[in-house]
Amino acid sequence: MPRLLTLAGAQTGPIQRADTRAHTLDRLIALLEQAARAGAQLVVFPELPLTTFFPRWFIENTQELDTYFEREMPNANCQKLFDRARELKVGFYLGYAELTPEGQRFNTAITVGPDGQILGKYRKIHLPGSVEPRAGSRFQQLEKRYFEYGDLGFPAFRGAPEWNRPVMGMLICNDRRWPEGWRVYGLQGVELMVMGYNSAAYDPNGGESESAELRTYHSTMAAQSNAYMNATWAVSVAKAGDEDGSGLIGGSCIVSPNGLVVAQAKTLADEVIVAEIDLDDCLQGKEKMFNFAQHRRPQWYGRIVDQVGAEAPE
Amino acid sequence: MPRLLTLAGAQTGPIQRADTRAHTLDRLIALLEQAARAGAQLVVFPELPLTTFFPRWFIENTQELDTYFEREMPNANCQKLFDRARELKVGFYLGYAELTPEGQRFNTAITVGPDGQILGKYRKIHLPGSVEPRAGSRFQQLEKRYFEYGDLGFPAFRGAPEWNRPVMGMLICNDRRWPEGWRVYGLQGVELMVMGYNSAAYDPNGGESESAELRTYHSTMAAQSNAYMNATWAVSVAKAGDEDGSGLIGGSCIVSPNGLVVAQAKTLADEVIVAEIDLDDCLQGKEKMFNFAQHRRPQWYGRIVDQVGAEAPE
């Protein structure tokens, strides 16, 4: 008997700095409702969809910085989304900037069940960018300044009974390019990876750079290949388009355990993609080609944990 | 100043069980000469190109099994290839079944420099298949029976001075689907990965199975994505076509550190693909997106070495 689940990716267009929180939340709710009408039981939103991608600016004023962060989840600013989702019996993956009671800041994502309960929480481990601003740059990438490295590891968890209890994992943006995170989830039997991202479409400072097309290809390939090599379904969802003068790629996609794209966004705007998946499609890979118990040889993988940077032979 | 190197992949069509060793060697030499005429300084041959892919049969007679193995390298059976390569000042990657003086058997590859010296040796770590034959199957996959697991790790080495001394790594066939091996090489700064393969085009026993097209896509994607995620060039070369009644995919390719295919075989026969590459194209990835020293977080990768098989949450 197949283990079916209908999934949606809710790509958003740009969320401008000037947009109100209430306006943005209404957009997310509209996407949720559209996905629910298409039968989706789980909706994946992007990384940091409640605000603009603020790490592109050097913000020295802590009060201003705090406006981008959530002190609890849910909170008054996004309760409406949680309420509407529970009403529709739809779960969701949501990224947000987290400020803990102890004053720690993380780039975080949660997965919420159809009953409104938080099923899993993840804090981004592979933070890109820098701590110090680059002098003379119009735009920064200051995730390493504004966030601490995730401290929860890669904790797989079970999805809701209504979803056939898939083993789920979460990643955020840059994490999706790092096979280590995928493999740690793979070693927990992941069947469904959910991920949001904000990825630059070009170098906003005009340096030598890849095209938006190449960057979208990399984004899709990272999802395809890591889904294949871990025999899991994956949903990878963008905030896209021209956000406050800085371009973001789209390309949100749903990918099978064979590494095939089964749905992909066509625009750089608010757009819902949907697929009905069978979680048991993971079995062929997990039992044959990627049967880890039969084929892995960890005694030769030591450098992966013993070493951070590369060390070339003489 | 660019660090240029002209590479070739020398895909072979099938090597039938009835083919003589001398005939097969002449085919390999012809491919080497064709590659040299096209300017290649390094030619990558497939996995086990000196014979048919014998692990598809259950061979109980040790004397018969031994005919597929090389007791030293080079030896009288393939000296002519080594001599011609040195004459042409062309290096090569060659796979072979190795029988050591101590009686150990490995699925092995070497890289030979333009002066005929062996620069590096690798023994396949990710052996697919099974130890015991599958009852009632027309074809087997008995690599786990005929070979011991590679015992040399993933040892990066420097290529020849004439090649601009790239940091090189070798993998064999199924290894290319395992991101762990790639990453161990990545952590040694690999700039050029060379790999040969024999991959089934379909399930010869007629089970539910992927198409040859999907299998070729997986093979190419494994090279593309792992080259990208480790910011390295890669050459992946097939033995292709209908070999002793069993189909092998082709799709030999040369892939850039951006994960783009720059040359790919079009046939399932003897075919040379060539590309001039700049090793310094690896720098952008190694210094930015995949700057391991800046971005990796090994304290969260422990399961990769602590665990062999998958362990799902309750």
Q: Is residue A272, in this structure, part of any structural domain at all?
A: yes
What pLDDT is attached to residue B288? Answer: 94
Nearest to B125 among A221, A222, A300 (CB): A300
> Is A312 within 8 Å of B177 when comparing Cβ atoms?
no
The two tokens of residue A266 are: 């066509």
- The count of residues in chain B is 314
Going by C-alpha positions, the residue among B221, B253, B227 that lies closest to residue B240 is B253
Catalytic residues of B: 47, 124, 173
Which residues in chain B touch residue A184, judged by CB atoms under 8 angstroms apart? 300-301, 303-304
Domain containing B101 equals 4-306
What amino acid is encoded at B33 in this protein?
Answer: E
* β-pair type (B192-197, B233-238): parallel
Nearest CA in chain A to B176: A229
Residue B314 lies in a domain: no
Q: Do B303 and A184 touch (CB under 8 A)?
A: yes
State how far residue A58 is from chain B, nearest Cα, in angstroms.
Answer: 20
What's the CA gap between B247 and B139, in Å, rounded? 11
Question: How many structural domains compose chain B?
Answer: 1
Q: Which residue has the tokens 């740009």?
A: A14
The rounded Cα A230 to chain-centroid distance in angstroms is 17
B203: left (phi over 0), alpha (psi -120 to 50) or beta: beta
Residue A314 lies in a domain: no
How many CB atoms neighbour CB B119 within 10 A? 18
Interface A–B counts its CB contacts (< 8 A) at 198
Q: In this complex, do B300 and A153 lie within 8 Å of one another by their Cβ atoms?
A: yes
Give the Cα separation of A182 and A169 in Å (integer).
8
Give me the CATH number covering residue B66: 3.60.110.10
Contact between B178 and A296 using a beta-carbon 8 Å cutoff:
yes
pLDDT higher than 80, residue A141: yes
B229 lies in some domain: yes
Q: Do A187 and B303 touch (CB under 8 A)?
A: yes
**pLDDT at res. B207:** 66
Which of the residues of A are catalytic? 47, 124, 173
Residues from chain A contacting residue B301 (CB–CB below 8 Å): 180, 183-184, 304-305
Indicate whether A313 belongs to any domain.
no
Interface probe for A, chosen from B107, B122, B180 (most Cβ of A below 10 Å), is B180
Checking if the pLDDT of A206 tops 90, the result is no
On whether residue B312 sits in a domain, the answer given is no
pLDDT on residue B1? 83
Question: Quick one: which of B113, B59, B58, B110 has its CA closest to B88?
Answer: B113
Low-confidence residues of chain B, pLDDT below 50? Answer: none
- Asked if residues A113 and A97 have their Cβ atoms less than 8 Å apart, the reply is no
Q: Find chain A residues with C-beta within 8 A of B259's C-beta.
A: 217-218, 221
Q: Is A270:A12 a contact under the CB 8 Å cutoff?
A: yes
Checking if the pLDDT of A170 tops 90, the result is: yes
Position A139 in a domain: yes
**What six digits make up the tokens of B297?**
């977080």
| CA atoms within 13 Å, Cβ hemisphere of B75 | 13
ipTM of the complex: 0.97
> For the purposes of burial, counting CB atoms within 10 Å of the CB of B210, is it exposed (0-12), middle (13-18) or buried (19 or more)?
middle
* CA–centroid distance for B290 within its chain: 24
Q: Model confidence over A207-266: pLDDT tens digits? A: 667 899 999 999 999 999 999 999 999 999 999 999 999 999 999 999 999 999 999 999
Beta bridge partners of A27: none
Structural contact between residues B142 and B108, judged by C-beta atoms closer than 8 angstroms: no
Close Cβ partners of A281 (under 8 Å, ≥ 6 residues apart)? A233, A256, A257, A258
**Alpha carbon separation from A202 to A34, A207, B105, B229, B241 (Å, rounded):** 30, 9, 51, 19, 42
Chain A nearest CA to B180, separation (Å): 6
Q: Verify cis geometry, omega within 30 degrees of 0, for the bond prior to B2.
A: no
Using a CB-CB cut-off of 8 Å, the residues of chain A touching B302 are 305
Q: Is residue A90 part of a domain?
A: yes
Q: What is the pLDDT of residue A209?
A: 75
Asked if A229 and B222 come within 8 Å (Cβ–Cβ), the reply is: yes
Indicate the helix (H) or strand (E) that contains A217.
helix A212-229
Angstroms from B20 CA to nearest CA on chain A: 33
The pLDDT score that the predictor gives to residue B155 is 98
Residue A241's pLDDT is 98
Instruction: Write down the residue that tokens 């007679």 correspond to.
Output: B61
* pLDDT for res A207: 66
